[in-house]
C-alpha cells in the first residue's frame, strides 16, 4: 500500500522558491546548445556539492547524475539542460548573454526544478531505496551517429538498474502550477526525411532543354499532404511537415539541376510509420513520371513517449495530495517529441506537463519571447521529489 507524501513537501518547496528561481535565471542567462552544455553541467555539479550531494559528472557528455537515499530499488528523475539556436528578445534581467542561443523550451526551468528536487530529497531522503536525478544534455539534437542525450546517458550507465523514470515539461498554455498527465501515448514519434529531386539544368529562356526539378518539387510537396488526408485514418494523428526546400541555384534565369527537401513525420503508431514511408516513395514517383529521378532517405528517430499506467496513477495521486483536484487535468496527446521516449520504451515511465503560463500572455515554446511564470517552479520540484518518494514506498 502506498503512503502518499503529505502537503509538507510542497510547503518546503515553496520555501526554496527564491533559490530555485536563482538556479533557473543563471542557467537562462548562460544557455548552451546540445552537446555544448559544459558550463551548465559544471554549474549543476557545483550546486549539488554546495548542498552536500555527491554526483558523477561528464556522463554521456556533459550530463550529471546524483543519487540520494539508501536501498536496492532505484527510481530516476530525468531533467534536460540544453538550449536552442534562437536570439532572445525578452527585456528581462536574466536575458540570454549568449547571442543567438536561448532557453526557448524551458530546459533551464527543468534543470532548476531538478536541483530543487535534490534539495528536498536531501532534507527528506528515502530509506527504502534511492532516487537518482539525471541532468541530461542534448535532448534537442543528435550527434553524427544519430544519438541524442538520453541514449548516450543510457549507454554511460546513468539509468542502470532503475525500476521507473519520471520527467516533466513546462507548458505555457496551461495555468501556472497546474498538472496535466495521461496514461498511454503522450508525445509523438518524430522521424525525418531527406529528398533530392534530380532534373537537368538549363537557361530559363529555354526550358525545353532542361528538366525542371522545381516544378517537380512543387507537385510533390502538394501531393505529400494527400498522405495525411487520404491515406491515413482520420482517427490517428499524423503531421507531415516540409521544413526546408533548396535548389542547386538561386537565380531568376536558371533552371536548377536539383532540389533538396527536408521534413518531419510525427505519428504515434508503428503501422503509421510504415505506411508513410511507402506512400512517400509512391509520391516521389512524380519526379520519374516527369522525366527526372530522386534520392530518398527516411530516418527513424524518436519513438513516441508512452506513460506507464501505474506510475501515471501515482503522479495523479501525488498531485491530488500536494495541489488539490482543481490543479489536475487530463493531458491531450501532443505532436511534439522528446528523447525521453527511449526511456519510456525501456522502463516504466511517466512524462507530465507543468503549467507555466504568464498572466500577461502565453509565450509559445521555441520562440524568441518564450518565458515562464516562475511560481510554477516549486510545484515542479515538489512533484518530482514527492512522486519519487511515493514510488519507493510502494510495496
Distance of CA 363 to the CA centre of its chain: 17
Round to whole Å and give the CA distance between 336 and 216: 30
Please report the pLDDT score of residue 48 as a whole number.
99
**0.85 surpassed by pTM:** yes
Q: Please name the residues in contact with 395: beta carbons below 8 A apart, sequence gap of 6 or more.
A: 1, 2
Report the chain's mean pLDDT, rounded to a whole number: 97
Average pLDDT over residues 161-175: 98
189-302, CATH topology level? Alpha-Beta Plaits (3.30.70)
Domains of the chain, residue spans: 8-188+305-392, 189-302
* CB-based contacts of 14, cutoff 8 Å, min separation 6: 378
Residue written as cell 518565458? 371
- For residue 380, pLDDT beyond 70: yes
Instruction: Identify the pLDDT of residue 395.
Output: 65
Fold observed for domain 8-188+305-392: Aminopeptidase (3.40.630)
Residue 1 is predicted with a pLDDT of: 47
362 falls in which pLDDT band (50, 70, 90)?
Answer: confident
Mean pLDDT over residues 82-86, rounded? Answer: 98
- Over 90: is that where the pLDDT of 88 sits? yes
Amino acid at each position: 500500500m502506498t503512503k502518499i507524501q503529505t502537503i509538507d513537501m510542497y510547503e518546503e518547496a515553496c520555501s526554496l522558491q527564491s533559490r530555485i528561481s536563482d538556479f533557473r535565471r543563471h542557467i537562462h542567462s548562460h544557455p548552451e546548445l546540445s552537446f555544448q552544455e559544459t558550463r551548465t553541467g559544471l554549474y549543476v555539479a557545483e550546486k549539488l556539492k554546495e548542498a552536500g550531494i555527491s554526483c558523477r559528472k561528464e556522463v554521456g557528455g556533459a550530463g550529471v547524475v546524483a543519487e540520494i537515499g539508501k536501498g536496492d530499488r532505484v527510481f530516476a528523475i530525468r531533467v534536460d539542460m540544453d538550449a536552442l539556436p534562437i536570439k532572445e528578445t525578452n527585456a528581462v534581467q536574466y536575458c540570454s548573454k549568449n547571442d543567438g542561443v536561448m532557453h526557448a523550451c524551458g530546459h533551464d526551468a527543468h534543470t532548476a526544478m531538478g536541483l530543487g528536487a535534490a534539495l528536498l530529497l536531501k532534507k527528506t531522503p528515502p530509506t527504502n531505496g534511492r532516487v537518482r536525478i539525471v541532468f541530461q544534455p542534448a535532448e534537442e539534437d543528435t550527434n553524427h551517429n544519430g544519438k541524442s542525450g538520453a541514449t548516450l546517458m543510457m549507454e554511460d550507465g546513468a539509468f542502470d538498474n532503475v525500476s521507473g523514470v519520471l520527467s516533466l515539461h513546462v507548458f505555457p498554455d496551461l495555468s501556472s502550477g497546474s498538472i496535466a498527465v495521461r496514461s498511454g501515448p503522450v508525445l509523438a514519434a518524430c522521424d525525418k526525411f531527406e529528398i533530392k529531386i534530380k532534373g537537368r539544368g538549363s537557361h530559363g529562356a529555354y526550358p525545353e532543354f532542361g528538366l525542371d526539378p522545381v516544378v517537380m518539387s512543387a507537385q510533390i510537396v502538394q501531393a505529400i499532404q494527400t498522405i495525411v488526408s487520404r491515406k491515413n485514418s482520420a482517427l490517428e494523428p499524423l503531421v507531415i511537415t516540409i521544413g526546408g526546400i533548396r535548389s542547386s541555384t538561386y537565380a531568376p534565369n536558371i533552371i536548377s539541376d536539383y532540389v533538396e527537401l527536408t521534413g518531419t513525420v510525427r505519428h504515434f503508431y508503428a503501422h503509421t510509420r510504415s505506411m508513410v514511408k511507402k506512400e512517400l516513395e509512391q509520391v516521389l514517383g512524380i519526379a520519374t513520371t516527369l522525366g527526372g529521378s530522386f534520392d530518398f532517405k527516411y530516418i527513424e528517430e524518436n519513438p513516441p513517449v508512452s506513460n506507464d499506467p501505474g506510475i501515471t496513477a501515482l503522479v495523479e495521486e501525488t498531485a491530488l495530495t500536494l495541489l488539490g483536484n482543481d490543479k489536475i487535468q487530463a493531458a491531450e496527446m501532443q505532436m511534439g517529441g522528446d528523447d525521453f521516449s527511449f526511456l519510456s520504451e525501456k522502463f516504466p515511465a511517466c512524462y507530465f506537463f507543468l503549467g507555466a503560463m504568464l498572466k500577461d500572455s502565453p509565450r509559445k515554446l521555441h520562440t524568441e519571447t518564450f518565458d515562464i511564470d516562475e511560481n510554477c517552479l516549486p510545484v515542479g520540484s515538489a512533484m518530482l521529489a514527492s512522486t519519487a518518494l511515493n514510488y519507493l514506498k510502494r510495496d
